[in-house]
């Protein structure tokens, strides 16, 4: 399959990035080391180019109606400048994708979807659109770049580039504003690291100038470019799901811990079946665990009971740079899901002792 390229690929190469295929794109996985980049974001500020993500605009009188039908959260609670985390349930009991929903106005919304699912999500939402008029869908993914500036110093580093008071922006809100000399840039107080910060949506033709402006403004705060390797360890320390690992087309969103964004106060795709599943009780759950023994859990390693019987498998795992121990997530029968429950991770022929913990692994 031909790989897609982000507009700033040459800049990343000049910065020394190792470029790897990811979700159909050639992406920077690291510039220095995953550990250094992880610590930069946790302690100061880093910038990710995540322009592989997808963006759809839905506008018109029926835009909200379609969003309410295809997403599990209640988008009617949104207001102008508010962002909502949600997911697209499929009609088989699994998840098409998880996403962010931005209310630009009551008649215009932006959906931000995972890179690997852009075409799938677009086709799915289109297939659920049975409105004859009052709705326009525009896929702006190919013309949009997205930079995530994350870390405790992100607001200070970015403040010279905008008149919006970044420190006072509430989590999961956004402003459409002038930024780095360009109008109508979306500055969003969101991110996938748990370290605080902002996501900046710009047109492709503005991307290089905006990237350079951010790097210059953040220089005195030690800003560094950060790759997908550190992005993965940062999100895992927060217990954030990664589509394709921890949630997918075959996994129940309720088992995946997405009940908090599943609102049965309105009908949506497959809502009746999910409501019945909730009523009947879940048979398994996604849990976080920390290794007590030394070792690193990896995706697809077996999770076992004390006798070595397989009870599940690791969906995401790593050595936590912050905690200096192995951490992971995986699905286990509900009787093993309480914090403090003992699990074992099978690494080659060894059973490494682990303990279920309450997420996130790293508390803010």
Cis check: omega of the bond before 360, within 30 degrees of 0 = yes
Average pLDDT over residues 244-252: 98
Question: What is the domain count for the chain?
Answer: 2
User: Which residues are part of a known binding site?
Assistant: 199
Instruction: Clarify whether residues 232 and 294 are in a common domain.
Output: no
User: Which residues are part of a known binding site for substrate?
Assistant: 199
pLDDT confidence of residue 183 = 98
Question: Rounded distance, CA 207 to CA 145, Å?
Answer: 6
Percent of the chain exceeding pLDDT 90 equals 98
The token pair at 81 is 């400048």
The model's pTM is 0.98
Instruction: Clarify whether residues 14 and 115 are in a common domain.
Output: yes
Contacting residues for 147 by C-beta, under 8 A, at least 6 apart: 47, 48, 49, 50, 51, 199, 200, 202, 207, 210, 211, 214
Residue 1 has pLDDT above 80, yes or no: no
Instruction: Clarify whether residues 3 and 87 are in a common domain.
Output: yes
Give the pLDDT confidence of 159-179 residue by residue, as tens digits. 999 999 999 999 999 999 999
pLDDT confidence of residue 364 = 73
What is the full DSSP assignment across 20-74? EEETTEEEEEESS-HHHHHHHHHHS-EEEE-TTSEEEEEESTTHHHHHHHH-SS-
Structural domain including 287 reads 283-363
Give the pLDDT confidence of 82-98 residue by residue, as tens digits. 999 999 999 999 999 99
Identify the band that residue 266 occupies on the pLDDT scale cut at 50, 70 and 90: very high
Average pLDDT over residues 310-338: 98
Query: Domain containing 8 — which CATH number?
Result: 3.30.1360.120
Instruction: Clarify whether residues 308 and 162 are in a common domain.
Output: no
Percent of the chain exceeding pLDDT 70 equals 100
pLDDT confidence of residue 354 = 98
Handedness of CA 74, 138, 27, 200 (dihedral sign): negative
Instruction: Clarify whether residues 164 and 20 are in a common domain.
Output: yes
Instruction: Clarify whether residues 347 and 219 are in a common domain.
Output: no
pLDDT confidence of residue 235 = 98
Instruction: Clarify whether residues 266 and 325 are in a common domain.
Output: no
pLDDT confidence of residue 82 = 99
Q: Assign residue 329 a region (left: φ > 0; alpha: ψ between -120 and 50; beta: otherwise).
A: beta
| Residue whose C-alpha is closest to residue 13's, from 37, 30, 35 | 30
Instruction: Clarify whether residues 357 and 306 are in a common domain.
Output: yes
Instruction: Clarify whether residues 150 and 12 are in a common domain.
Output: yes
Instruction: Clarify whether residues 298 and 207 are in a common domain.
Output: no
Give the pLDDT confidence of 3-60 residue by residue, as tens digits. 999 999 999 999 999 999 999 999 999 999 999 999 999 999 999 999 999 999 999 9
Question: Rounded distance, CA 157 to CA 221, Å?
Answer: 6
Query: Domain containing 335 — which CATH number?
Result: 2.40.30.110
Instruction: Clarify whether residues 266 and 287 are in a common domain.
Output: no
Strand partners, 247: 243
Residue 278 has pLDDT above 80, yes or no: yes
Cβ atoms within 10 Å, residue 184: 12
Question: Rounded distance, CA 61 to CA 322, Å?
Answer: 47
Instruction: Clarify whether residues 353 and 260 are in a common domain.
Output: no
Give the pLDDT confidence of 203-247 residue by residue, as tens digits. 999 999 999 999 999 999 999 999 999 999 999 999 999 999 999
Average pLDDT over residues 242-271: 98
């Amino acid at each position: 399959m031909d790989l897609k390229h982000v507009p700033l690929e040459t800049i990343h190469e000049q910065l020394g990035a190792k470029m790897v295929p990811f979700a159909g794109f050639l992406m920077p996985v690291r510039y220095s080391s995953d550990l250094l980049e992880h610590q930069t974001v946790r302690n100061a500020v880093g910038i990710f180019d995540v322009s592989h993500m997808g963006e759809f605009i839905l506008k018109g009188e029926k835009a909200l109606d379609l969003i309410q039908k295809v997403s599990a959260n209640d988008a009617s609670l949104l207001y102008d400048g508010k962002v909502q985390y949600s997911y697209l349930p499929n009609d088989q009991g699994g998840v098409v994708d998880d996403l962010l929903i931005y209310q630009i106005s009551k008649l215009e919304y932006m959906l931000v979807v995972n890179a690997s699912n852009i075409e799938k999500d677009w086709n799915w939402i289109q297939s659920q659109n049975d409105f004859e008029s009052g709705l326009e869908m525009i896929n702006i993914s190919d013309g949009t770049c997205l930079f995530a500036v994350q870390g405790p110093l992100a607001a200070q580093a970015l403040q010279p580039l905008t008149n919006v008071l970044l420190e006072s922006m509430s989590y999961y809100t956004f402003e459409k504003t002038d930024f780095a000399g360009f109008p109508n840039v979306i500055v969003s107080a969101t991110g996938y690291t748990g370290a605080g910060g902002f996501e900046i949506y710009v047109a492709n033709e503005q991307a290089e100038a905006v990237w350079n402006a951010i790097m210059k403004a953040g220089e005195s705060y030690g800003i560094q470019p950060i790759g997908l390797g550190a992005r993965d360890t940062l999100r895992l320390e927060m217990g954030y799901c990664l589509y394709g690992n921890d949630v997918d087309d075959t996994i129940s969103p309720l088992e995946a811990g997405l009940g908090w964004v599943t609102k049965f106060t309105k009908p949506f795709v497959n809502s009746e079946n999910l409501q019945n599943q909730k009523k009947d009780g879940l048979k398994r759950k996604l849990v976080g665990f920390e290794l007590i023994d030394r070792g690193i859990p990896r995706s697809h390693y077996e999770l076992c009971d004390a006798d070595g019987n397989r009870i599940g498998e690791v969906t995401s795992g790593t050595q936590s740079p912050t905690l200096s121990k192995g951490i992971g997530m995986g699905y286990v029968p509900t009787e093993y899901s309480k914090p403090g429950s003992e699990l074992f991770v099978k690494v080659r022929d060894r059973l490494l002792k682990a303990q279920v913990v309450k997420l996130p692994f790293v508390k803010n």
